[in-house]
Structures are given as structure tokens and as C-alpha cells.
């Protein structure tokens, strides 16, 4: 089978790797460099604990966590998945497709019932684990520790699995922009590139994230999206110890290597314009810094070193859209928020469906067909 995968973010690189491993002859087409899209600007918390709006969505994200562990074992030099734990306290906002955690102890009970590694942390234990934390910002809020959670360096991941697929399974990586699908007698049998070249395949998998509908320019094959803007501020190297990620009402923050911290907030994202320049004096970046300093007072003299802004690829109802697109054989799409959590699982599932003809039940509620009559 000849497959074309469009987009080498965390989703497309996972799909290309698994398809090639399963024996397909795979061409991966990417216009911005591997990991050059939204996967370059992400908090990248690999989790299912923010996905309680439906059990199916929780299970899907849980499968994402498990698939991360599996692909890790296939790369002896893997250095992208960090799992020191994540700490959360009251009032933290829901992610897309998530539920507001207004009742943290209800949430904890639900997660424990579903077998998620999560426990209540006493304030003394919190101080022992993260001594730099200002206990005043926590107040008397209940604190939850996800001891096995962490984050994935999505660009490192994408680079590694694409490199692995080239080396081991003969994947071809093409640096080009796809401008449309090639459709012959009602079937998708390839793509057209910006220079007019046509590439043919038995199956095209569109993993181009927020740009998905530019690749399929025909309206009848487009997934309705409701993208949102996200801003991430990166601090200077700080020499300050914070081991785990924090998800808090003020700021979400975590170590980002080299002593830097990554800062973000859903609340502040709502104030960011999609076309804003990602400058270090951006008001929301400065507000993130103020909140981070309040949370970790030792950051007092540390400044924002870089800012990045991205658009989240979110299907209109906030849930993933993964599967064949109705009325167009040969065309499959995988567009989702929480792509960092889900990417490795999507790779496995797409390979199973496309190569082995095995329908994956985990995807039953997340088919693109729900958007089409
Ligand atoms: C601020 C922020 C915080 C986030 N936090 C989390 C989190 O904590 N946990 C989590 O799981 N997720 C999180 N996400 C979401 C996650 O980052 C995305 O869902 C994920 O990166 C999407 O990956 P992707 O591979 O689908 O898209 P992308 O990474 O955007 O990859 C798509 C690729 O397609 C390429 N492409 C597009 N059009 C074309 C074309 N026409 N021709 C060729 N190539 C093309 C692009 O260049 C790009 O490289 C966050 C996102 C943001 C913005």
C-alpha cells in the first residue's frame, strides 16, 4: 500500500511511523519542517485527567498515555518524555473537551474509580516536594498530585520517530506544501503540491492540524474547526528548583530544560489576538511572568526570554475527529486538540484501520462522519 501523510507534527509523525512500520510505502509531506506547526508551541502535558467530560474521551486520552509508554520502548535513546509528576489545585480551568474542575475532590474520586494515578497531597507534603512554592497562593485549596504524569517534548519526539521511520522502514520525507487533494472518479488518489507536482497514493491521511481545511479545499470534505489561540512564555534560565508541572488558577508552569520555565494560562489566552507579535513585552506574557513570580518568589529577577503564539486545531464540538471522511474513499483525517497526548495512539489506531482493516472501538465516538449528513 502507498500512503501519503500530510503534516509532520506529533500526530502526522506518529501516523507515518506506524504506517511505515506496518509495511506501507509512506511519503510524509511537510512544509514547515518536522514539528514546525502547533507541536512547536504546546504545554504538552500528557494526560487524561483533564478529560472527564465523557468517559469515552477520558478513555481515548488514557490510551494516549499508554501508547506513549509503548513507543518509548522502541527507541533506546528516547529523551522526550518526562514524568516527574504534575500538581494541581482548585479552580484550574478545563482544557478543550475537559470539565471545569470546580469540585476537585469529586474529580479525584472519579479519577481514582477509573484507575488514574492521582492522590490528594497534604500541604506539608506539597511544601516538602516543591519547597520554592509560595504557600499563600495555594491557600487552603485541596491539592492533587498526579505522580505518574508529565510532558513530552513534541518536536524532539516528532524528529526522532520520523528519523526512525526513515532509517528502519524507508519512509520518504518531502519538504513541500500540499495545495489540494487529487480526486479521480470520486476517490482520493493523491495530493497536488504547490509546484503543481502530483503525488499518487492508495490512501491520503491528512494530519495538518489547524491547516487541515486548506489541504482539503473542497467544502464537502472539511471538518468544521473552532480553533483557539494559545500563548506560551519562556523564562530565562533561572537556577530555581521546580521539579513538577503546576496546573493552578494563576498560571500553569513547568520546567522546560536548561533551567527555563514554560508559562501559560487559558484565562490569559482569551486576551491574545491570533495575529499578535510574539514579543517578550506582550502584556499577557508579562502577566504570566507576574503570576509565576507570585507562585515561585525565587523567580523575582528572572525575565521572559521568548514568547510563542499558536492556534490549537480543535474540531467544532471540541472532540477529536479521526477516521475516514464520508463520501471520499482513500481519504482519512486526524485532527484534534490534545494531540500531544493522543499522537502516539492515533498512529497505532490509523495503522490498524488502514493497513489491517481493523476498526478501533476507541474511536467510535470521534469519527469525522458526525459532522456530515
Ligand atoms: C498553548 C497550547 C497548549 C497546549 N497544551 C497541550 C497539552 O498540555 N497537552 C496536549 O496533549 N496538547 C496540548 N496542546 C495541543 C497540542 O499541542 C496540539 O493538539 C498538537 O500539537 C497538534 O499536533 P498536530 O500534529 O495535529 O498539528 P501540528 O503540530 O500543527 O502539525 C501539523 C503539520 O502540518 C503541516 N502542514 C500544514 N499544512 C500543510 C500543507 N498544506 N502541506 C504540508 N504540510 C502542511 C504544518 O506545517 C505542521 O507541521 C496545546 C496547544 C497549545 C497551542
7-21 pLDDT, tens digit per residue, is 999 999 999 999 999
What band does 188 get if pLDDT is binned at 50, 70 and 90?
A: very high
Which tens digits make up the pLDDT trace of 56-69? 999 999 999 999 99
Report the side by side order of strands in the sheet with 119-121: 119-121, 143-146, 86-89, 245-247, 252-255, 261-264, 228-235, 304-312
Q: Which of 133, 114, 116, 113 is nearest to 124 (CA)?
A: 133
Give the model's pLDDT for residue 181.
98
Ligand 1 centre and the CA of 85: distance in Å?
A: 24
Give the model's pLDDT for residue 358.
97
Q: Residues with Cβ within 6 A of ligand 1?
A: 6-12, 29-32, 36-39, 41-45, 154, 177-178, 207-211, 214-215, 230, 232, 264, 310, 312-313, 336-341
Average pLDDT over residues 247-260: 96
Report CA-CA distances (Å) from 305 to 232, 234, 236, 286, 288: 11, 6, 5, 11, 12
Is the pLDDT score of 99 beyond 50? Answer: no
Conformation bin of residue 273: beta by default, left when phi > 0, alpha when psi is -120 to 50: beta
Conformation bin of residue 139: beta by default, left when phi > 0, alpha when psi is -120 to 50: left
pLDDT over 70 for what percent of the chain? Answer: 97
Average pLDDT over residues 166-190: 97
**Cα separation, 248 vs 143, whole angstroms:** 10
Q: Where in the chain is the domain with CATH 3.50.50.60?
A: 2-42+154-224+316-371
Is the pLDDT score of 301 beyond 90? Answer: yes
Atom of ligand 1 nearest to the CA of 264: 1
Average pLDDT over residues 221-235: 97
- Look at ligand 1, atom 51, and give the residue with the nearest C-alpha: 42
**Cα separation, 266 vs 91, whole angstroms:** 12
Give the model's pLDDT for residue 103.
77
Ligand 1 centre and the CA of 60: distance in Å?
A: 18
CATH superfamily for domain 2-42+154-224+316-371: FAD/NAD(P)-binding domain (3.50.50.60)
Q: Indicate the helix (H) or strand (E) that contains 292.
A: helix 283-295
Query: Which residues, 6+ apart, have CB-to-CB distance to 193 below 8 Å?
Result: 29, 176, 177, 178, 179, 199
Give the model's pLDDT for residue 217.
86
Give the model's pLDDT for residue 100.
47
Q: Which residue has the cell 529577577?
A: 301
Q: Where in the chain is the domain with CATH 3.30.9.10?
A: 84-148+228-312
Ligand 1 centre and the CA of 339: distance in Å?
A: 7
Query: Which residues, 6+ apart, have CB-to-CB distance to 156 below 8 Å?
Result: 35, 79, 80
Ligand 1 centre and the CA of 66: distance in Å?
A: 20
Which tens digits make up the pLDDT trace of 15-38? 999 999 999 999 999 999 999 999
Ligand 1 mutation pick, 43, 152, 285, max ligand atoms within 8 A of CB: 43
Ligand 1 centre and the CA of 319: distance in Å?
A: 15
Is the pLDDT score of 166 beyond 60? Answer: yes
First-to-last C-alpha distance (Å) of the chain:
30
Atom of ligand 1 nearest to the CA of 36: 49
Give the model's pLDDT for residue 91.
59
Give the model's pLDDT for residue 325.
97
Q: Which of 316, 305, 308, 154 is nearest to 229 (CA)?
A: 308
Give the model's pLDDT for residue 101.
47
Burial class, 277, CB count within 10 angstroms (exposed 0-12 / middle 13-18 / buried 19+): exposed
**Cα separation, 268 vs 76, whole angstroms:** 39
Identify the CATH assignment for 84-148+228-312 out of 3.30.210.10, 3.40.190.10, 3.30.470.20, 3.30.9.10.
3.30.9.10
Burial class, 25, CB count within 10 angstroms (exposed 0-12 / middle 13-18 / buried 19+): middle
Give the model's pLDDT for residue 89.
94
Amino acid at each position: 500500500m502507498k500512503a501519503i501523510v500530510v503534516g509532520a507534527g506529533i500526530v502526522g509523525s506518529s501516523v507515518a511511523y506506524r504506517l511505515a512500520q506496518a509495511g506501507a510505502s509512506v511519503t510524509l509531506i511537510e512544509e514547515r519542517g518536522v514539528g514546525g506547526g502547533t507541536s512547536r508551541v504546546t504545554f504538552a502535558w500528557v494526560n487524561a485527567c483533564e478529560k472527564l467530560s465523557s468517559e469515552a474521551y477520558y478513555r481515548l486520552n488514557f490510551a494516549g498515555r499508554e501508547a506513549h509508554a509503548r513507543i518509548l520502548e522502541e527507541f533506546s535513546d528516547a529523551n522526550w518524555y518526562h514524568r516527574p509528576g504534575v500538581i494541581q489545585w482548585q479552580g484550574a480551568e478545563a482544557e478543550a473537551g475537559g470539565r471545569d474542575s470546580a469540585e476537585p475532590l469529586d474529580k479525584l474520586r472519579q479519577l481514582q474509580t477509573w484507575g488514574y494515578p492521582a492522590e490528594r497531597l497534604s500541604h506539608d507534603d506539597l511544601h516538602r516536594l516543591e519547597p520554592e512554592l509560595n504557600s499563600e497562593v495555594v491557600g487552603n485549596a485541596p491539592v492533587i498530585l498526579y505522580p505518574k504524569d508529565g510532558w513530552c517534548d513534541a518536536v524532539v519526539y516528532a524528529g526522532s520517530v520520523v528519523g526512525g521511520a526513515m532509517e528502519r522502514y524507508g519512509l520518504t520525507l518531502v519538504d513541500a506544501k500540499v495545495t489540494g487533494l487529487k480526486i479521480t472518479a470520486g476517490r482520493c488518489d493523491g495530493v497536488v503540491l504547490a509546484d503543481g507536482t502530483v503525488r499518487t497514493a492508495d490512501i491520503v491521511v491528512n494530519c495538518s492540524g489547524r491547516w487541515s481545511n486548506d489541504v482539503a479545499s473542497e467544502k464537502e470534505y472539511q471538518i468544521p474547526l473552532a480553533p483557539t489561540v494559545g500563548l506560551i512564555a519562556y523564562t530565562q534560565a533561572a537556577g530555581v528548583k521546580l521539579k513538577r508541572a503546576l496546573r493552578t488558577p494563576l498560571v500553569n508552569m513547568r520546567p522546560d530544560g536548561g533551567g527555563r520555565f514554560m508559562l501559560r494560562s487559558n484565562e490569559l489566552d482569551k486576551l491574545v489576538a491570533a495575529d499578535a507579535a510574539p514579543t517578550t513585552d506582550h502584556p499577557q506574557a508579562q502577566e504570566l511572568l507576574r503570576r509565576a513570580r507570585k507562585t515561585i518568589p525565587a523567580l523575582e529577577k528572572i525575565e521572559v526570554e521568548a514568547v510563542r503564539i499558536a492556534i490549537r486545531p480543535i474540531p467544532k464540538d471540541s472532540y477529536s475527529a479521526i477516521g475516514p471522511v464520508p463520501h471520499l474513499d482513500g481519504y482519512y483525517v486526524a485532527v484534534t486538540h490534545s494531540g500531544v497526548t493522543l499522537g502516539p495512539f492515533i498512529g497505532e489506531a490509523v495503522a490498524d484501520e488502514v493497513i489491517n482493516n481493523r476498526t478501533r472501538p476507541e474511536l467510535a465516538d470521534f469519527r469525522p462522519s458526525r459532522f456530515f449528513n
